[in-house]
Structure 1
Amino acid sequence: MNGASREALASARERLEALTDSTSVDPAKLAEELAAVTSLLDREVSLRRVLTDPAQSGTRKAELAQRLLGGQVGGETSDLVSGMVRSRWSSSRDLVDGIEELADTADLIAAERAGTLDDVEDELFRFSRIVSSSPELRSALTDQRAGEAAKAELLNRLLNGRTSPVTERLVVRLVAQPRGRSLEGGLDALTKLSAARRNRVVAVVTSAVPLSDQQKERLGAGLARLYGRQVHLNLDVDPAVLGGVSVRIGDEVINGTVADRLDRATRRMTG
C-alpha cells in the first residue's frame, strides 16, 4: 500500500489497538467477524468500490456500511469498518486487504492475551517448512478445484491439537481464502505480522546441525545490535549447507555457510 491507503490503514490499526485495550472486547470474535466482512467485500466488487468511492462523502459511506453490517456483526466490528470507509483509500482492494490485516491482528492479540504469541510465531514457521518440504500437501492445499470446506477439513485433521487455536484459525483462513496470494507468501506475512506485535524482526537461520543455546544467544544478540531491535530466530536445519549458518531477514541474506563459500570459489575458478 502507499499514499492514502497507508495512512488509512495506520489509523485503523490505532483504532483496533484502542478497542482491544478493553478486556470486555473479545479479540477472537472480532477477528472472526472482520474475516467475514473481508470475504463479503472480496466477493462483492461493486460494493467495495462504492465504499471507497472518493466522490462520496465519508459520512455517507459509513452510514451505508452500518446499514449493511447492522445485525450481522457486533457493534465493535461495525464501528471499525465504518471508520475505515470514512478514510480515503487508493484502491478498493486496499480496503479489503486492510480489513483482512485487522482480522489477523485481532487473532494475534487474542494469542497475546493468552500468552501464546511466541507459540503462534513458531507454529506458523514450522507449518511453512512442512508445506515447503511436501509438494503433495502444498498441492492439496492450493488446488483450486477443491472447495473451502474440504481444505478446512484437511487442515483440521493436520493441526487439531497440535497447534494453538489461533494458529489453526489463521492457517485455515489463509488456505480457504488466499485472495491471490501464494501459500508461502501468506504464511510469511502472518509470521511478520506476529513478530511486529513485539516490535521485533524475524530471522530465518539455516545451519547444518542444530545450534546450541549459547550459539543461539550469541547470534540473537549480534543481530539485535545490527538491526537495533529484538530479533526472533526461526531455526531450520539443512545438512546441505555443510557448515556455518545462513541468516535471512526479509529480502536480506547473510550467508556464512561452507556450501556458499565453496560455490563462490567454484564460480571464480570457472569464470
Structure 2
Amino acid sequence: MGSATTQAVAATTKALDAASGVDLDVAGELFAAARAVGDSSQLSGALADSAAPAAARAQVVAAVFGKAVSPTTASLLTTAVAQRWSSAADLVDGIEELAVRAAAVAEPAADVEEELFRFSRTVAENPELELALGSRLGDASAKGTLVDTLLAGRVSRATTLIAASLVQAPRERRVRQLLSRATKLVADQRGRTVATVYTAAPLSIAQVDRLAGTLTKRYGTQVTVNTVIDPTVVGGLRVQIADDVIDASVSSRLADLRQRLAG
C-alpha cells in the first residue's frame, strides 16, 4: 500500500467514525458502489484522477450515485474520491474497506469477527464450496445468493452482508483471503487485533480467555482469539498475529531437534 493510499484510508475511516446514520443500508450501498467503480475502468480512472479538481470528482459521484444512495453514503463516497490514491485499484479497495467498516459499525453487538472467521474455516474445509464461490466463471449475484442461503439465520446480518458482497467482487483474490481481510478490518474498526491460534485439541473457554489476556498485555491492544484445530501441531500452540508467529508447539520443537541432530 502506497503512502498516498495509507493517508487516504485514514481520512475515509475518520469520516466514517464521524458520520451519523451509518446502518446496514449504507454498508450495502458502499459495497454496491465499490463493485460499480471496480467494474468500470473509465469510472474508476475518473474518480482516482488526482490531477482533476476534487470538486469535479465529487460531481461525478453525485451524477453516478447521488439519487441512488443515502446522503450518508454519498458523503462518504465524496470524501473517498477527494483523497489522493496510489492507484484506481486502491480507490476501489478503499471504498470496499469503508463498506466492511460500516457494516461493523451498524451492528456493534454482533460478533462479526468470529462469524467471518468461522465461515472462512467452513470454506477452507469444503473444496466444492470454495470452488463455487471462487470460480471466475460463476455468476456474481448467484454467489452472493448462495452465501445468503448458507448464512441466513446462522450469523448476524452484518456478517452475511460482508461475506455475500465480497464474493461478488473477488478481483483476483481468493475467498479465504477476502474473508481474512474483512475479519481484520472489523477487528480494527472495533479497536481490536485478531490472533489465530492453531492447536491440536480444542481449548476451554478459560484457556482462551487467559491466552487473550496474555496477548493483550503483550501487544498493548485488545486481542480477539480465533482457534483452528490442527492435528499437525501435536501439542502446545502456534499463534499468529499479523506477521508475528509465536510457535510453542511440540511439532516445532521436534523439528528443531531434528535439525540440530542432523547438523
Q: Normalization by structure 2: what TM-score?
A: 0.94
Q: Does residue 1:32 correspond to 2:28, yes or no?
A: yes
Maintained 8 Å contact 1:66/1:79: no
Change (3 A) 1:62 1:150: closer
Maintained 8 Å contact 2:145/2:164: no
Counterpart of 2:260, as a letter, is R
Maintained 8 Å contact 1:207/1:246: yes
Three-state SS of the structure 2 residue aligned to 1:256 is: strand
- Identity over aligned residues, as a percent? 40
RMSD: 1.6
Structure 1 window deviating more from structure 2 (150-159 vs 133-142): it is 150-159
CA deviation vs aligned residue, 1:139-160 (integer Å, no higher than 9, x gap): 1111111112332232233212
In 2, Cα distance between equivalents of 1:107 and 1:199:
15
Count of residue pairs brought into register by the alignment: 263
2:144 to 119, 137, 152: 152
Report the alpha carbon displacement of residue 216 of structure 1 after superposing the two structures with TM: 2.2
CA deviation vs aligned residue, 1:161-204 (integer Å, no higher than 9, x gap): 11111111111111111122211111111111111123121111
CA deviation vs aligned residue, 1:69-120 (integer Å, no higher than 9, x gap): 22121222222212222222221122111111111111111121xx11xx21
1:88 to 80, 84, 88: 84
After TM superposition, the structure 1 = structure 2 runs for residues 139-178 of structure 1, keeping only pairs within 5 Å, are 139-178=131-170
After TM superposition, the structure 1 = structure 2 runs for residues 80-229 of structure 1, keeping only pairs within 5 Å, are 80-112=76-108, 115-116=109-110, 119-229=111-221
For structure 2, the 5+ residue unaligned runs are none
Report the alpha carbon displacement of residue 48 of structure 1 after superposing the two structures with TM: 1.7
Q: Normalization by structure 1: what TM-score?
A: 0.91
Structure 1 window deviating more from structure 2 (242-251 vs 74-83): it is 74-83
Counterpart of 1:156, as a letter, is D
Counterpart of 1:215, as a letter, is Q
Report the alpha carbon displacement of residue 26 of structure 1 after superposing the two structures with TM: 4.3
Maintained 8 Å contact 2:66/2:74: yes
In 1, Cα distance between equivalents of 2:149 and 2:62:
37
For structure 1, the 5+ residue unaligned runs are none
Counterpart of 1:262, as a letter, is L
In 1, Cα distance between equivalents of 2:194 and 2:26:
26
The residue that corresponds to 2:63 in the other structure is 67
In 2, Cα distance between equivalents of 1:90 and 1:26:
27
